[in-house]
Amino acid sequence: MPSSPGDSVRPDPPGACGNGTETGSAIVEFIFLAVLLMVPVVYLILTVGQVQGGAYAVVGAADQAAKVFVLHDDLPTAQASAEQAMHMAVTDLGFDPADAQLTIACDGGCLTPGTIVTAYVQLRIELPVVGSLPGVTANAATVDSRATQKVGRFK
């Protein structure tokens, strides 16, 4: 078959690797960029998950502490039981109870029938991985919640 003018073979421009000898490194570049971009994204997702888990923990801890507090007849036992309930609720969601703080506030005598008792729980959320390093205290956030209960007339 005769060749037409459009079928002519053009020489490669200077500096180009022609004739199938191109040995690019696209895979290496892709892996490098994927790791470089994905590590911060994954870390952000882990941090947001920790904060969300902490938010759930303090809501449950405040609710349980307020419920347990109003069930007791004497103040020291009520306070100790509320602290224990808060620690259990925080521990159940995988947080350190030492990072949580409980404050009880009453609008009158704390165990007088009809009194409104408010439990306020704060929890420091550590950054994932960084918080497990010895001597490093890097907090992602502090979450808090409050719950109220009324001391009943009949116990």
Structure-token pair, residue 75: 């103040």
What pLDDT is attached to residue 136?
75
Structure-token pair, residue 36: 């470089």
Q: Which residue type, as a one-letter code, is found at position 89?
A: A
pLDDT at 7 over 70: no
pLDDT tens per residue across span 21-48: 666 678 888 888 888 889 889 999 999 9
**Contact (Cβ atoms closer than 8 angstroms) between residue 58 and residue 143:** yes
Decide the pairing of beta strands 139-150 and 116-126: antiparallel
Whole-model pTM? 0.73
